[in-house]
Chains A and B, each alone.
Chain A
Amino acid sequence: MLPPETQLIRSLNEVLILAALQPGPKHGYQIAVDIEELSDGYFSFTHGTLYPILHQLEKEGLIDGEWESGGSRRRRKNYVITSAGRSCLRERVAGWWELHDSLSAFVVASAAIRPDVAANQ
């Protein structure tokens, strides 16, 4: 059993990858580049952490890995989101929104947690 913070990070990474594949098929490196660029550098995959997650998602059937036949070029692997991946993404995003809303509501309700509010009291 993984620690909760590891599970949270893994789940977040999976959502990022599934969301990055929504527009269409991509190579592994493109997924990493798109996530970094779309999030203005807030999210970034380093040290090859992308591949275990990609392969896990592929194993779970949430994405498909297809090899391009590149002729004389080196063969590249393209990833495509599957219909199971799309429904998983919908569920995960809904979960994240729920978490976001609950957390926001909690933070607002317990004003002492907000440093700016606490400082004014």
Chain B
Amino acid sequence: MSAITERRVFTERLGRMFGRDVTGLLGLLVLTVVVFGLTTPQFLSLGNFDSIGFQLPDLGLLTLAMLAPIMGNGINLAIIATANLSGLTLAWILNINGGPQAGVLAFVVGVVAALAVGGASGAAMGVVIAYFGAHPILASLAMMIFLKGLGEYLTRGGDISGFPAFLGEIGHGVVLGIPVPMLLFAVAAIVWHVLLARTRHGFSVAMIGSNPRASEYSGIAVKRSLTLVYALSGVMCALAGILMLTEFNSVRVGHGEALLLVTVLACFLGGVDPNGGFGRVAPVFVSLLILQTLSSGLNLLGANQHLSTAVWGLFLIAVMVFRYLAPTLRALFEIVRRPPPAALAPTRDSKR
């Protein structure tokens, strides 16, 4: 008996520390790691974790960019287009400053310009959504078509490459044994967490996501906050675009388009409420780790990227079904463990 209470105390403490959603997902992560570790010997090798460390950040940054608008009961379908256009901006500035001979100053200017382009695209979308009252799906869809078209128009559909060698240090570098992109993503995730969970703006966004009208009546600057959240989302896209440029040493419109719906998938897997208002960075971070682990595990087993895509989709369905059934299962579990009188209590009221 004491073992059970002890275990309960332990899980409750874990739950308090990370939140119940995170512990559940961490369990899933451990499960996938163990399953792949037992079935494929190379899975637990350092090389594999290294490759995860280089593959995860692109998807991760884009997922952060998707997370914030979803919290505000919106969505940003233009994230890939924004990232690519920002990457193009940086590429353009590097190229007019000598291409491979471009200096650090040109890079810094280019990064600032890229972030500005990302922020401006996001802000424009935010204005259409917040001030004109357009639906986020439609506004961001139109913005995606526009930005992608703009990129196609500027590049004529080709790719731009030929960048200074020091960019490789960012895209492929390692500091203290950790891939630089991973470090960048970790910092971005922490900043995003603080922004969403600890600042006034994050609070406003969550409130707007829960109930926009009540927020308006409570004195929250709904329109300004919404515009800002899309602008910040655009800046995060730009960061992803810059990182992708340094990793692939080229920029092309349409690059990474397959990631668009995967970012939404990662958010929902991470327990973000599709109706807005609720969502945290930590569980989304863990869900990204799960998706990437599944993908590289399957890859080592000899499956291709398409099978991973299918498994991601099926996995999301399974998690949604489990979340639906969880209260029932928990109630059943209680019935089995307790004497009969408690059996009268099982309800689904605990379901949000």
User: Do these two chains really belong together in a complex?
Assistant: no
Interface residues of A (CB under 8 A from B): none
